[in-house]
Amino acid sequence: MTVGYLALGSNLGDRLENLKAAVAFLNQESRMVVTKKSLIYETKPYGDVPQDNYLNAVIQIDTDYAPQELLVVTQTVEKKLKRERLIRWGPRTIDIDILLLGQQIVTEPDLVIPHQEIAKRSFVLIPLKDVYVGKTLFSQSLEKLIDQTGNKNEVWISGESW
């Protein structure tokens, strides 16, 4: 089994229920188990599209899915939760990004692992810090990466919980 990390985000509908449903669907997969869940964070939206705040979290998984297989799984869960891809960085019921998958490096048109934006997003790094087993990422501490984003003040612990 390979340890992986998935970022979850929702800002449409019942945001908390969307996160919980995504985790439940992922846990139903026979070749994957969710082993850790971060705290749930509220965040200002990323990008220039006016929209409501997000609830964000990161989960740790154990899986034997290959990267492209895992992408199919995450996109299937997004479809089950009625994710529509209308506007880049626009509102969504659920967004599931593959952040890391063991030591694998993938560069394909539809999938890049490690996720290409991970070091720029405090809304990913802060919850990742809750569940990440390593001390460093990209040869830097998570704290340093979080500080370098310049937007860590846009992420705070939500009053919601699993």
As annotated, the active-site residues are 83, 92, 95, 97
Q: How many residues does the chain have?
A: 162
Residue 49 burial (CB count, 10 A): 11
| d(C-alpha 82, C-alpha 80), whole Å | 5
SS3 of the chain: the string is CEEEEEEEEECCCCHHHHHHHHHHHHHCCCCEEEEEECCCEEECCCCCCCCCCEEEEEEEEEECCCHHHHHHHHHHHHHHCCCCCCCCCCCCCCEEEEEEECCCCEEECCEEECCCCHHHCHHHHHHHHHHCCCCEECCEEHHHHHHHHCCHHHEEECCCCC
